[in-house]
Structure 1
Amino acid sequence: MTTYREIFANREFRALFAGNAATVAGKTIQMLALSALVYASTGSPLLSALAFLGGLLPQALGAMTLLAYADRVRPRGFLAGWDVARAIAALVLASGVLPVWGMLLLIMAFGAVDALSGGVRNAILVDVLPGGFVLGRATLNVSVGAMQILGFATGGTLIATLGPHRALAVAAVFIAFSAVITFLGLRTRPPRATGRAGVSATWQGNRTLFANRSTRAVLLAAWVPNGLIVGAEAMYVPYAGDWAAVLFVAAAAGMLTGDLVIGRFVPPATLNRFITKLQALLAVPYLLFFLHPDLTVGAVAVFVASFGYAGTLGLQQRLIDHTPEDLRGQALGLDGSGRMTFQAIGAGTVGLVAEATGPATAMTVAAIASLTVTALLQPRLRAREDPRVAQPAGTSGSA
């Protein structure tokens, strides 16, 4: 599958696309409304930030404890059921019955399971679009960016006109719609793996993935260089002040353009050759910030750099190629949660550097560090070895 017409002719992909778009819009509205609600109740910027990003923080915990279930659930029932649970949680938040600490605990608990749901959703995309994962993943990435923009715009309008409680109720409607369309649009599939799941199985699966040099290199390449550049993006506000939105828009536009171009016009069979080049492109333009460029030059540099995020498409395809089917969901879930975690680490690390050097120098340091990691990992990414992760002795695919 190499064209948008082909993938959208697939009924299951249309359901995944619409369901994912509705979920992203609903979650974005929820994050914004909950942050506004907590700030109005407490006046605390810290608690407001936790309400906005708190659901992302526990994903590493979910990756370490729950990901074995990603290959041991029926995707259709799990994804639809999880959206129902998220819609109910949004209604609970909208009701106002929970204290602030209760709301924060609720979103963090759901955040831990989001790592699992991401693995299930990405893995079923491989089944729905045989040979078309890269284009399908790129298309979903574009929809995520568009729905986040729509979600922020809609959420802001709803909060201003209806208040945060009713905005949360609207978020619940979006997420419930996703549950319905996912359940009706996907067909029933059996789990990829059998056997017990849980913490020990998750740890064993993660160890299996990291024991293989190729898989380990792919995961590190997906996590570390990108996380460092996200750290550079965290410096937009200190660097540009009130005009930081220009840099954020340029970054979003570059990322969407990269997904569109690479996903559509680069065949999956040749995408491997572009991974390192795209990851280098992600960092090189940020070296210009050492010269303190004006806003126009800075925005162009950010746009060009963000095109390089499309390298993640090649890394995800390579991860699929190097992972046996009964670990596919866990591998993709680990990839997603690891990227979230390293983005937070990158933002914190670059922020610490900026405290001592200033934002422009910190962005340059992040670019140099990202390029260094990319260069160190390149030989591992080019190495040829068995494309499938070997199962540990004594196991039979049930992990």
Structure 2
Amino acid sequence: MRTYRELLRTPEFTPLFLAVSAQVAAMTVSGLALGVLVYAATGSPLLAALSMFGSSLAQVIGAAVLLSAADRLPPRAAMTGVALAFCLGTAVLAVPGLPLPGVFAIILGLGLVGSVGGGVRYGLLNEILPADGYLLGRSLVNMSVGIMQVCGFAAGGVLVSALSPRGTLLAGAALYLVAAGAARFGLSARAPRASGRPSAAATWRSNARLWSSAPRRRVYLALWVPNGLIVGCESLFVPFAPEQAGTLFACAASGMLAGDVLVGRFVPARWQARLGTALLLLLAAPYLVFAVDPPVPLAVAAVTVASIGYAASLVLQRRLMDLTPAEMSGHALGLHSSGMITMQGVAAALAGTLAQHTSPGTAIAVMAGASVTVTLALARGLLPRPGLDTTPGHPMARSSTDGSTKS
């Protein structure tokens, strides 16, 4: 599968694509509104960063106790329920006079619910698409994420000015409702991918199994840490340039979109597996310019170029699937998603703390330098080993032996 036309003809891909797109648009619009609302009320870069990315911190709890649900719940019902929970929580955040502790309690609660969502969505994507279509499918989903973020941050900036941050939060709640409708009425009912009831014990057993493999550990660390540190940089866009934060976020999303198109559609498959380290370095290096507090045009250029490097996640997710048994695909992708989002929340908190004691530009440069360092430390272990990195029972392994693929 090499064309988007083939991809969009795959049954159920389009409604899944629409549901994910609507949810990303909702998260983008409401996140910007919440960051502006909290920063205006407190003047704190740390609290502004945590209001936008603090739900990520709850992902570590979800990854520890809830993640087995990603393969043990019916995908349609789970996706619909997650979107409805976010719709309700976002609407409550728009209530005037809600105290700051209440705001952060809701944010953390939504993060806990969302910890299951990534595994459900991307496990279903892996189930819907044949093995040779996963990278292209995830590329198109990531392109949608980029487009929705560009449009969401642009529209969010307009809505914040026209409606107020609280009005923009209600618009975000409406978009979550659209995502729930797309999932409920566009997807077919499917049985869970794994048997048994979701439980903390099942989650721990599967996490331990996934983490027991050294190649998978390195891939997980590469997916989580360099990416998370750069999202920590992005969490400081509001205090770095309050009037231009929407532009910086939109340009970051544009760069991510460009990278996903190039890697997912045009880079030959034989090259993709070797691009992970280079893309991770590209993701971080341009942010080092923030050490000199660059003017906004230079900052915009650096952010746009750097964000092309987010395409590293496509390469690394494909390798993760090659290393993972098919019946654990949802859990494995959920662990990737939860770990990555948790790291993003930790990095946002760390970046906000650094900015409190130095400056936003200095904190951004320090986070970028840390990302480069981690990438270089992991680089050797990320190179693929032909014939050794495909797990028996994975669709790639089946297609190499009997010609079949999982649809």
TM superposition score category, shorter chain reference: 0.7 to 0.9
Counting matched residue pairs gives 388
Matching residue of 1:388: 391
Report if the CA contact (8 A) 2:29-2:172 is conserved: yes
SS, match of residue 5 in structure 2: helix
Give 1:158 deviation, angstroms. 4.8
Query: Which amino acid in structure 1 is aligned with residue 264 of structure 2?
Result: G
Structure-1 separation of matches of 2:14 and 2:81: 19
Query: Which amino acid in structure 2 is aligned with residue 171 of structure 1?
Result: G
Report if the CA contact (8 A) 1:286-1:363 is conserved: yes
| Deviations 1:184-234 (CA, angstroms, capped at 9, x unpaired) | 222222212112421121122111111100110000011112223333445
Report if the CA contact (8 A) 1:192-1:325 is conserved: no
Report if the CA contact (8 A) 1:214-1:383 is conserved: no
Structure-1 separation of matches of 2:234 and 2:35: 21
Deviates more, 1:238-247 or 1:301-310: 238-247
Give 1:272 deviation, angstroms. 0.7
Give 1:119 deviation, angstroms. 0.9
Q: Does 1:304 align with 2:309?
A: no
Give 1:351 deviation, angstroms. 5.4
| Deviations 1:235-283 (CA, angstroms, capped at 9, x unpaired) | 5566667666665444332222111111111244541111112112223
Matching residue of 2:5: 5
Report if the CA contact (8 A) 2:150-2:253 is conserved: no
Structure-2 separation of matches of 1:277 and 1:13: 30
Query: Which amino acid in structure 1 is aligned with residue 143 of structure 2?
Result: V
Cα distance change on mapping 1:357 and 1:332 into 2, 3 Å: same
Query: Which amino acid in structure 2 is aligned with residue 227 of structure 1?
Result: G
Structure-1 separation of matches of 2:359 and 2:94: 41
Matching residue of 1:147: 148
Report if the CA contact (8 A) 1:11-1:185 is conserved: no
Which residues of 2 match residues 319-330 of structure 1 at below 5 A?
Answer: 319-330=320-331
Report if the CA contact (8 A) 2:149-2:250 is conserved: no
Cα distance change on mapping 1:109 and 1:361 into 2, 3 Å: closer
Report if the CA contact (8 A) 2:136-2:265 is conserved: yes
Give 1:118 deviation, angstroms. 1.1
Give 1:35 deviation, angstroms. 5.9
Q: Does 1:175 align with 2:176?
A: yes
Q: Does 1:120 align with 2:123?
A: no
| Deviations 1:97-133 (CA, angstroms, capped at 9, x unpaired) | 9766445433422210201011110111112221222
Query: Which amino acid in structure 1 is aligned with residue 81 of structure 2?
Result: G
Matching residue of 1:15: 15
Report if the CA contact (8 A) 1:208-1:389 is conserved: no
Q: Does 1:263 align with 2:264?
A: yes
Structure-2 separation of matches of 1:351 and 1:97: 25
Give 1:328 deviation, angstroms. 1.3
Which residues of 2 match residues 1-399 of structure 1 at below 5 A?
Answer: 1-32=1-32, 43-45=41-43, 51-91=51-91, 101-130=101-130, 131-155=132-156, 157-158=158-159, 167-234=168-235, 247-288=248-289, 295-350=296-351, 363-382=364-383, 384=385, 385-388=388-391
Cα distance change on mapping 1:44 and 1:363 into 2, 3 Å: closer
Give 1:175 deviation, angstroms. 2.0
Structure-2 separation of matches of 1:275 and 1:15: 30
Structure-2 separation of matches of 1:128 and 1:96: 43
Report if the CA contact (8 A) 2:18-2:182 is conserved: yes
Cα distance change on mapping 1:244 and 1:100 into 2, 3 Å: closer
Report if the CA contact (8 A) 1:268-1:314 is conserved: no
Report if the CA contact (8 A) 2:49-2:349 is conserved: no
Cα distance change on mapping 1:348 and 1:127 into 2, 3 Å: same
Give 1:379 deviation, angstroms. 2.3
SS, match of residue 193 in structure 1: coil
Cα distance change on mapping 1:97 and 1:79 into 2, 3 Å: farther
Cα distance change on mapping 1:155 and 1:114 into 2, 3 Å: same
SS, match of residue 135 in structure 2: helix
**Normalized against structure 2, the TM-score is what?**
0.81
Deviates more, 1:128-137 or 1:207-216: 128-137
State the identity as a percent: 45
Matching residue of 1:397: none
Give 1:96 deviation, angstroms. 6.7
Query: Which amino acid in structure 2 is aligned with residue 80 of structure 1?
Result: T
| Deviations 1:264-313 (CA, angstroms, capped at 9, x unpaired) | 11244541111112112223334455666655554433332221111111
Please tell me the root mean square deviation across aligned C-alpha atoms, in Å: 3.4
Structure-1 separation of matches of 2:30 and 2:88: 12
Deviates more, 1:24-33 or 1:126-135: 24-33
Structure-1 separation of matches of 2:340 and 2:349: 14
Structure-2 separation of matches of 1:59 and 1:262: 28
SS, match of residue 273 in structure 1: coil
Structure-1 separation of matches of 2:100 and 2:298: 43
